[in-house]
Each structure stands twice: as C-alpha cells, then as structure tokens.
Chain A
C-alpha cells in the first residue's frame, strides 16, 4: 500500500524528476514520429500504387522490420554511432537525438505498412476521379491520402504506441542517463531492478493513460469520419 501511495504522491505531487522523464519520453517519441511519418507515407504510397523492380524486396524488408526486435535496432545503431563506428564523429550516442533516430526507425515500417494497406484498400475511383479532373500526380496522391486519412491516422497512432513503449533501443543508444536520456520505459526497468516500485508504478500508469487517451481520440475521430 505504501508503494501505491508513494506512486500517487509522485504523480500528483509535481515530482520534477518524474515529470522530466515523462517529458523526455514524449519529446523523443513525438520527434521520432514526425521524422518517420512523411517518408513512411510517401514510401507506402509508392509501394501501393506503382509497380517497379525491387518493389517486392522492399515490401519484404518493411514487413520484416515490423517485427524486428527493438534491441537489435538498438544494437545496430549503437555500432554505427559508437566512437569506432562510421558515424562516431557525430557524437550522437547516449543523446536524445540518437533515441529519436532509433524510434523513427522503429516507427517507419509501421507507417509504411499502414499506408500500403490504406491506399490499396481505398476506392479505386478516388484516384481516377482526381486524375480525370486534371490533378497532377502529386495532387492526386495527396487527394487519395486525404481520402484515407483515418486509416493513416491509425498507423500514426500505432507508430506512436511503439515509440513510447519500447525499451530496448532507448536503453542501448540512450544509456538511461538521468535528466538526459532516461525515459518512461528505461526508468521503469531501472527502478524495478533496484526494487523501487513507486516510480515504476507511477510511470506505468502514465503509459497506460497515454495509450488509452490516444486510442480514445482515434475512436472519436474515426467516428466522425464514419459519419461523413
């Protein structure tokens, strides 16, 4: 009971360390999402609409990345960003920037897969109508993506879900440095390993509330979309 009471106090007592961790998590996850979403949607659209050499390979790579263990992404990035690695001179290892890159890589295939699915599932007349009315290929693409916006939003929300909840990549390339790269998941892992459950529970509650809130927003938006 004491642990629960302490976690409630941390959450609602304005604990600076706890809210700092939450801010880092949101900041890194959202920036990763912003970085991955435009190219993810663009690649997904091309994969859905065009037939070209290597398309099948790209689809297989994207599908494989969907289920890639986050620690493996972290390991690869670690090797690339460490001092001896090809990008070591950038000195990104154990920074939020490295975590953003890692989360963007994790989110990217999710955005691609949802976009492929949304565009392939769209009414074929939507794109044809745009073209017949004189839209350029770019305008027709934007129109079709706009027509599938609710399906695309689901991809973005799923991407955010993966970014905010993954621990392996953030731990390996962030280093779990207090006040710098310690986010919700790495903090929970650390506190639990020390036997300090209060902060872990408080942060776990935040994660669950975030997940529920985002899905609630999605449900409302999809409801509005369905009424159109």
Chain B
C-alpha cells in the first residue's frame, strides 16, 4: 500500500525507446479523401482518381452515408476515395 504522506514521484523526465529484430509493419494506407468543388460530379471525380468516369459508383458506394442522389453532390462535401 503506498504511503499517502509520501510525495508523488515525478516521472516527467523519463526517456524511453524500443527496437526489434522483426521488420516494422508498414503504416496503414492513408485514406484518400476529396472535397467537392463547384462543377464537380461523381463521374468527374472518378475520372480524376481512376482515369475512368464509369467508376463513379465506387465513390458513391463508399459514401452512401452522405450521398442521397448520385447526381446531386455539393461543394464542401468530403468523400472517401476507395483504392
């Protein structure tokens, strides 16, 4: 049981580190996002990221939570761009 009268130890200057003989795991791939600007459409964004406007459905499916109508997206919306 710690002594309540004992002053609290100060560990603010503790230095630490770690290393391993195992290779470090690659960091998880950063999720790509895109913020809609005026004049954008899902096809346009798909063309930009996939080189194929027909891939618009991938972006639509990944962002169903915020796209009600795929023909109606709004400037300022930020969409996840799946790989």
- Whether chain B is bound by chain A comes out as no
